[in-house]
Amino acid sequence: MARGQTLLITMSQGAGRPQGTLRALVFLGVLVGMVVPSPAGTRANGTLLASRGWGTLLSRSRAGLAGEIAGVNWESGYLVGIKRQRRLYCNVGIGFHLQVPPDGRISGTHEENPYSLLEISTVERGVVSLFGVKSALFVAMNSKGKLYAT
């Protein structure tokens, strides 16, 4: 007897028992939970997750590989030069913010401060520049992979 026929017979024999019905209900509940958005879920900023829509949730999977944006021609320079001020946070251990003090040493701090505010701008595809806003220094890396400010 073929494998598919054996599986079909096993499924039909277990469907009448309470255990088979319970499994089917749990499976159905999981499927419904994946398809229907939960209105009770809120984000940290207070907006409903459902208000952002499925497009936001699925945008990364539609864009392709991590970081790729569909339909963007990087050769034309469309995204080159976009600048954003952000704090880079490392969640390893007890966590810290990357900071660029005026003495040029790159370090981490547990609390936000003026030296942890960085301007992140795109240079080309896959390349960004980091600029310490308060210290007016760029973050660079030497040939051994050690960060410094210049």
pLDDT digits (tens, 9 = 90+) for 73-97: 556 666 677 889 999 998 888 899 9
pLDDT of residue 42: 44
Residue 137 binned pLDDT confidence (cut-offs 50, 70, 90) = very high
The closest of 134, 105, 132, 109 to 121, measured between CA atoms, is 132
Instruction: Say if residue 35's pLDDT is above 70.
Output: no
Q: What is the pTM of this model?
A: 0.48
Domains delineated in the chain: 3-63 (no CATH), 74-149 (2.80.10.50)
Quick one: pLDDT band at residue 71, thresholds 50, 70, 90?
Answer: low
